[in-house]
Amino acid sequence: MHVIKRIPPGPENPLGDRWIGFAHGDGWTVGIHGTPHPELLGQAVSGGCIRMRNADVIRIYDRVKLGTPVIVYP
């Protein structure tokens, strides 16, 4: 995968305050992450990720360990 641009941590990072990756393949990754724009939650504006309020994803991040199974239901 070729990195086009790195976005540093901070208030405008589209991944919010935490990233929990759970699926990946050749050139793609899907995960659970926060957002600097919670007003957009519930709208299809990501590339397939699960977006949450930053405070909520921080609580989950602090509780899961590497290797925790993730099941996503439609």
Q: Is 37 a catalytic residue?
A: no
Alpha helix stretches (DSSP H) within 1-74: 54-61
User: Hey, where are the domains in the chain?
Assistant: 1-74
Whether the full predicted model's pTM is greater than 0.85, yes or no, is: no
Exactly one of 2, 24, 37, 49 is catalytic; name it.
49
Domain 1-74 has CATH 2.40.440.10: yes
Q: Is 49 a catalytic residue?
A: yes
Instruction: Tell me the per-residue pLDDT of 15-73, one tens digit each, with 9 for 90 and over.
Output: 899 999 998 888 888 999 999 999 999 998 888 899 999 999 999 999 999 999 988 88
* CA-to-CA dists, residue 32 to 22, 56, 61, 72, angstroms: 8, 11, 9, 10
Enumerate the β-bridge partners of residue 19.
33
Q: Is 66 in contact with 42 (CB distance < 8 Å)?
A: no
Exactly one of 2, 24, 33, 37 is catalytic; name it.
33
